[in-house]
Structure 1
Amino acid sequence: MSLLVAVTWETQPWVERFKRHLPGREIAVLGEDFDGSKIRYAATWGPKPGSLDNLPNLEALFSLGAGVDHLMGYPNLPDVPIVRVAQDDLTYRMSEYMVMHCLMYLRDHARFAQAQREKRWEPDRSPPIASDVRVGIMGFGVLGQDAAVKLKMMGFDVAGWSRTPKSVDGFKVYSGESELDAFLARTDILIALIPLTPDTRGILNRSLFKKLAHDGRLGGPILINAGRGGLQIETDILSCLDDGTLKAATLDVFEKEPLPEDSPLWSHPRVTVTPHNSAVSEPEATARYIAKQILRYEAGEAFENVVDRVRGY
């Protein structure tokens, strides 16, 4: 068995990790000489066109991250299972991010931070509590559901939306295009965790923002996007912030990354920018997860978290 490491960044640390978790297995590296007929698995992120060709005995592709949109447009993608990384480490990091930012909006952190800089004593006479705030999580898979549980523990009124019908104990889950407007109408803080597909590209736009609740205790709807940059139309976000359609936005992903220095998002007073670090895949945990999947498969069990190519996630 050979595992091919096909990434666009430094490969040696990944080779060392896989050797620890798959002792005795041959680890090949894209760009070095190897026998393509021996490759049964490939661990990859953003492979260059042609780099996954000539692997006649390939049995599975592993995406070195939670998303797989980097593979969906790949020309001549091998017809083998694509396995997403879905590990507790990444899930818990995403939930931490969501709880932190929802609490910062709940407690009006930006206003008090500005008051501190200006040395103004500005007490809040009637602040809302978490149960006053309706959080809507757009994308109710593993990441969305864990975030929902932890936000609910803090007291937030949480609902989910999924492209396909889904039942999750303890939560109202809206589904499909027919229920999207109702979901948006009850949402004060919109969390976007949906995968990027042709159907979802640009979905976070002015038309959608106008449908969010404008009668909530936070003074206007708020967007938190930690899904994919391709989901959002950044010019719409900026114009909606300026005209009051949105009150604020926390963005961890962008149309172009790194975010260009001349982007107005950097300096907009109601935008929080983070550098795509909401749920960084911890390399050791990722390698361990992939090794576990390979060993499961070789023991006769099915891969977990296999991508549906039709849906794109």
Structure 2
Amino acid sequence: MTVNILFSARPALWPVYEPLLRQNLLDAGLEFHLSTDIPPDQVDYVIYAPNGGLRDFTPYTRLKAVLSLWAGVESIADNETLTVPLARMVDHGLTQGMTEWVVGHVLRYHLGMDQHITTQDGTWEPDPPPLASERTVGILGLGTLGTASACALNSLGFDVIGWSRSAKEIAGITCLHGPEGLRETLSQAEILVLLLPDTAATENTLNTQTLALMPKGANIINPGRGPLIDDEALLAALNAGQIGHATLDVFRVEPLPTDHTFWAHPNVTVTPHIASETRPPTAAQVIVENIRRGEAGEPYLHLVDRTLGY
């Protein structure tokens, strides 16, 4: 039986993904029809991105699963018309890219690289950094991306504390959870990395009260989601010296408006949502594997818990 697969994403992505998906579907031995235009009542699977325009899943009466091209699913997880399984993107290319970005910026702070890059005034003041084992890095969020980043930093010798809403166990990582665990993580983190999902429970995780728990002069790295931080509270903490510097890759409004305070603030580094992205060659493999599983009656990978939103 032919499997009908609808590609619903930004039109520019179709010529990129179509040959990759087609080859993987052929390799999987599936009989399929892959298109951007299939009558809703004939669609078995939707390959989905929010910028594809699809919002109402009610007409998709034959639908078996929605397979997201994005790691973040906050824009679809609460869609009441979607009643079939929803899988988020967990792509080893995306994971590797995020890990490299996080490690790079942690090392930048740890080694004090900004000072030497931006201050070439002839001043000779030797002040070597501590060893990684003497630096505590906190990671909020121990999903796939957070775990990979934590393990990479631990392999370099950093003292890594990871926090998640529910209990986790990761070899070599101090794993904390719950409200008290969050307070303990923040109180020790000289460098803090945010890799939590965007949900009602995680909005403004960093706020006036939680920022005050951190060591004075701590650095913050946010490649996760913009709403994880109360922007005004962060600016106040930066201006007061409670937080030394923040590197922000994600924002509540993107692109970040040109007149936003973050752009001109001396203790903020803005990067344009480049920490990582889905890599089409590896993402196509993940998508097709889930279609194969669906057709074989096997459990889908990376299913979203709709009650939690991730």
Aligned to 2:298: 301
Task: Pick which of 58-67 and 16-25 moved more.
Answer: 16-25
Aligned to 2:154: 152
How far residue 233 of structure 1 moved from its aligned partner, in angstroms, is 1.7
Using a 3 Å threshold, how does the CA distance of structure 1 residues 89 and 49 change in structure 2: closer, same or farther? closer
Deviations 1:123-151 (A, max 9, x none): 43342221121101100111111111111
Q: Are the counterparts in 1 of residues 154 and 172 from structure 2 also a CA contact under 8 Å?
A: no
Aligned to 2:267: 270
Q: Are the counterparts in 1 of residues 133 and 158 from structure 2 also a CA contact under 8 Å?
A: yes
Deviations 1:161-198 (A, max 9, x none): 01011122221111112321112111111110010111
Q: AA paired with 1:178?
A: E
Mark the runs of 5 or more structure 1 residues left unpaired by the alignment.
Answer: 215-219
How far residue 48 of structure 1 moved from its aligned partner, in angstroms, is 3.8
Q: AA paired with 1:310?
A: T
Aligned to 1:129: 131
SS at match of 1:69: coil
SS at match of 2:183: helix
Q: Distance in 2 between matches of 1:232 and 1:5?
A: 33
SS at match of 2:147: helix
Equivalent residue for 1:18, pick from 13, 16, 21: 21
SS at match of 2:7: strand
Q: Is 1:66 the counterpart of 2:63 in the alignment?
A: no
SS at match of 2:255: coil
Q: Are the counterparts in 1 of residues 215 and 242 from structure 2 also a CA contact under 8 Å?
A: no
Q: Are the counterparts in 2 of residues 5 and 11 from structure 1 also a CA contact under 8 Å?
A: no
Compute the TM-score of the two structures, normalised by the length of structure 1: 0.91
Task: Pick which of 105-114 and 43-52 moved more.
Answer: 43-52
The alignment-based identity, stated in percent, is 33
Q: Are the counterparts in 2 of residues 232 and 255 from structure 1 also a CA contact under 8 Å?
A: no
Using a 3 Å threshold, how does the CA distance of structure 1 residues 303 and 49 change in structure 2: closer, same or farther? closer
Aligned to 1:227: 224
SS at match of 2:95: helix
Q: Distance in 1 between matches of 2:130 and 2:34?
A: 55
SS at match of 1:174: strand
How far residue 310 of structure 1 moved from its aligned partner, in angstroms, is 0.7
Structural mapping, 1:35-184, within 5 Å: 35-46=39-50, 48=53, 50-74=55-79, 76-116=80-120, 119-184=121-186
Q: Are the counterparts in 1 of residues 78 and 306 from structure 2 also a CA contact under 8 Å?
A: no
SS at match of 2:45: strand
**Larger RCO: Structure 1 or Structure 2 (Cα < 8 Å, ≥ 6 residues apart)?**
2
Q: Are the counterparts in 2 of residues 131 and 155 from structure 1 also a CA contact under 8 Å?
A: yes
Q: Distance in 1 between matches of 2:179 and 2:243?
A: 22
Equivalent residue for 1:244, pick from 241, 245, 248: 241
Q: Distance in 2 between matches of 1:285 and 1:197?
A: 27
Task: Pick which of 236-245 and 15-24 moved more.
Answer: 15-24
Q: AA paired with 1:68?
A: V
Q: Are the counterparts in 1 of residues 142 and 164 from structure 2 also a CA contact under 8 Å?
A: yes
The 4+ residue runs of structure 1 with deviation greater than 6 A are none
Q: Distance in 2 between matches of 1:104 and 1:114?
A: 13
SS at match of 1:310: coil
Q: Distance in 1 between matches of 2:55 and 2:70?
A: 21
Compute the TM-score of the two structures, normalised by the length of structure 2: 0.92
Aligned to 1:258: 255
Q: Are the counterparts in 2 of residues 115 and 122 from structure 1 also a CA contact under 8 Å?
A: no
Aligned to 1:217: none
Using a 3 Å threshold, how does the CA distance of structure 1 residues 102 and 161 change in structure 2: closer, same or farther? same
Aligned to 1:282: 279
SS at match of 1:3: strand
Q: AA paired with 1:166?
A: K
Mark the runs of 5 or more structure 2 residues left unpaired by the alignment.
Answer: none
Q: AA paired with 1:133?
A: R
Q: Distance in 1 between matches of 2:293 and 2:53?
A: 29
How far residue 21 of structure 1 moved from its aligned partner, in angstroms, is 2.0
Q: How many residues align?
A: 302
